[in-house]
Structure 1
Amino acid sequence: MAQETNLLMEVPKASRPRERLDQYGEKALATHELLAIVLRTGPKDSNVIQLSLRVLNEFEDLYSLKMASVEELMGIKGIGRTKAIEIKACVELGIRIANATQLKSGTITSTQSAGSLLQKEMRDLQQEHVVALYLNTKNEIIKKKTIFIGSLNSSVAHPREIFREAVRFAAARIILAHNHPSGNPEPSEADLVFTRRMVECGEMMGIEVLDHFIIGVNQYLSLKEFGIV
């Protein structure tokens, strides 16, 4: 193991794949560098970069590598059963990720459908929660997330937290909601200021804020219907 580690350290620091991925991102790495990260170490007579190149040279293309069996991988000098199994696991994980689809949690068809959904989920909360529904271009809910807990006039109520998630999930639109534990959905001045600020930020980013709901115990208020959004 000491020999393997020493040989890995012989790779110049600027060329070490882990460091390069950390600095430049995964898309900047060549295929053999990505494979080197999976393999971690090389055998006694070569470093991990050389081993990853050796593996790729054994196959015509990445499809052939994908279809290779554990036994075929073990036929490559420096690849034992453990490394062969790790390669197969990595390949299968990549296939499953590539086939994954974004989960949907229903479609918003109207102000009433959004308000009813949010009122049902938030009416019994004992502390003020700010929730965002992230929608795609078909108004399908692709993510529902509690952004923060606390009063809207608090320093934590910042648009960057909400729009960071919108960008992350590639949302086209946002619906916001927060509850009033008192049960009265009447908007405060802080509610109105926050809503206007969110609408302005959404316009600058090209992400529409469709509505902001204030949730009470037995009723909700739409700030879009209230004329604020």
Structure 2
Amino acid sequence: MLGQLKLIEEKEIKKDSIKERAEQYGIGSLFDTEALSLITGIKEDILIRFNSLRELKEELPALNVTRLQKLKLEAFFNMAIRFSKENRQIIKKITAPEEVSNLLMDEMKFLQKEEFRILILDTKNQITKVETISIGTLNASIVHPRDVFKSALLNSANAIILTHNHPSGDPTPSNEDINITNRLIDAGNLIGIKVLDHIIIGDNRYISFKEKNLI
């Protein structure tokens, strides 16, 4: 079931309404389903049927709620994406794959098609830009080295980090993922732009090629 944000005593859960507990203890005291119910007006017993926010987003078109409630849910997911985009505009020095995951996970785990992006780094390994290279079908993206390094060169990249999502939620790299990564590493070596890592984002999980010694 959808996870909880913070547990409080069971007797308090039964005694107080969602609104009362939010006012008294803060939004952090609510379960995910309770917080969404407060935002959208959708009854919690409808929301609690879903195992994750990803599943809720995927099933949104068929959800048996009012059009206004659907619009509120769509607005919630859209604002989450906007917030993530706003956060990543901040120049940030990358020192570990987990930091890339933390930067992109909240947005990319909800995408229903594969998106291939590159993080453009300066000489201090600070992110200067995140560029979307391709948007694919439900389970595949089309990536050409020409497009990757055209963007890298135009943005004066010293190095890049590759990243894409798996809509299935399983970040395990496919043979195609491994092959395109090797092609991009070779191309980068030829023009002097190093590929530092390739990070695949799943459902609250990620796999780093560097951590797995795949590059």
Q: What TM-score comes out, normalization by structure 1 length?
A: 0.52
The answer (yes or no) to whether the contact 1:104–1:140 under 8 Å persists in 2 is no
Q: How far apart, in 1, do the equivalents of 2:94 and 2:107 lie?
A: 15
Task: Indicate the residue corresponding to 2:154 in structure 1.
Answer: 168
- The partner residue of 2:163 within 177, 195, 205 is 177
Q: Which stretches of structure 1, 4 residues or more, deviate above 6 A after TM superposition?
A: none
Tell me the residue number matched to 1:224.
210
Deviations 1:118-144 (A, max 9, x none): 222311111110011000010111111
1:171-194 per-residue CA deviation (whole Å, 9 max, x = no partner) reads 001011110000000111100001
Distance 1:153 1:205, change over 3 A: farther
Measured after TM superposition, the shift of residue 104 of structure 1 is: 5.4
User: Is residue 2:106 matched to residue 1:110?
Assistant: no
**AA of the residue aligned to 1:190:** E
TM-score (norm. length: structure 2): 0.55
Gaps of 5+ in 1: 1-102
Pairwise CA RMSD: 1.8
What percent identity do the matched residue pairs reach?
45
| Aligned 1:1-229 pairs, distance under 5 A | 105-150=91-136, 156-229=142-215
**By how many angstroms is 1:200 displaced?**
0.7
Task: Give structure 2 stretches of 5+ with no counterpart.
Answer: 1-88
Contact 1:123/1:179 (<8 A) preserved: yes
| CA contact 2:188–2:194 (8 Å) conserved in 1 | yes
Q: Give the match's secondary structure for 2:214.
A: coil
SS in 1 for 2:181: helix
The code of the aligned residue for 2:168 comes to S
**Greater Rg, structure 1 or structure 2?**
1
Q: Does the aligned pair in 1 maintain the 2:113–2:140 contact within 8 Å?
A: no
Corresponding residue pairs, total: 126
1:52-108 deviation line (CA, Å, top 9, x unaligned): xxxxxxxxxxxxxxxxxxxxxxxxxxxxxxxxxxxxxxxxxxxxxxxxxxx853221
1:113-169 Cα distance to aligned partner (Å, 9 max, x none): 122212223111111100110000101111111110116966x41011010011101
* Structure 1 SS opposite 2:177: helix
Q: Distance in 1 between matches of 2:105 and 2:185?
A: 22
How far apart, in 1, do the equivalents of 2:151 and 2:158 lie? 11
Counterpart amino acid of residue 110 in structure 1: A
> In the alignment, what sits opposite 2:25?
none
In structure 2, C-alpha distance between the alignment counterparts of 1:179 and 1:125, rounded to whole Å: 8
